[in-house]
Amino acid sequence: MRRARTDTPISLIELIMDLRSRGISDTHILAAIEKIPREDFVETAFSHDAYANRALPIECGQTISQPFVVAYMLMALEVNDRHKVLEVGLGSGYQTAILSHLCRRVYAIERYRTLARLAEARLAALRITNVTVLVGDGMKGWQPQAPFDRIIVSACADETPTALIEQLAVGGIMVIPVGTSGGDQHIFKVRKTETGIEETKLIPVRFVPLVPGTAKQL
């Protein structure tokens, strides 16, 4: 059974204030969130709760992440307008739309064809033109476009995929949830150096699992 909507809708201004109170201080990220109508990225039944600071269900049994988690991961990513970013897990396209205002170009991979098509339509409606979408296996990354200055993963891996580390530029940063389905999960910040990688464990989270392959039937 789907959760009933809240009695009073949360406004975008209230969401921004909530994010600030939780430590989201990057003005570029907050400004990008203000530009993106989250109600365009959720199912109609949940549009009343579009600016509530919680995850919501979307098509194909997936979710649109909690705005705080999106903002937190983007802060950890340390992204700027010169960066080429790989996003694994396009989903609804909401995080992608925010990223498009923060970086030079986004290459987004989605394993569900239905989600990819819907997200592309939403991005086109917002006249976002610096995003390229691929239906494919996110665990394999996007080798022809590598290396990437930044990589952000929107599903939880058992361990950091080797292919993604290989496609990260030296000096680059990857932000990824790591853990087990139904068990402990944490955001990890992975920085690639000349000699290897440096990992920092951040906040606990709850994400859908990162699954190999492409769901061609959906």
Q: Measure the CA–CA gap between 103 and 120, rounded to whole angstroms.
A: 18
Q: Considering 11, 47, 65, 92, which one is annotated as catalytic?
A: 65
CB 43 within 8 A of CB 58: yes
DSSP string, 135-193: ES-GGG--GGG--EEEEEE-SBBSS--HHHHHHEEEEEEEEEEEE-TTS-EEEEEEEE-
Decide if 65 is catalytic.
yes
CB 30 within 8 A of CB 54: no
SS3 call for 10? coil
Point out the residues that are catalytic.
65
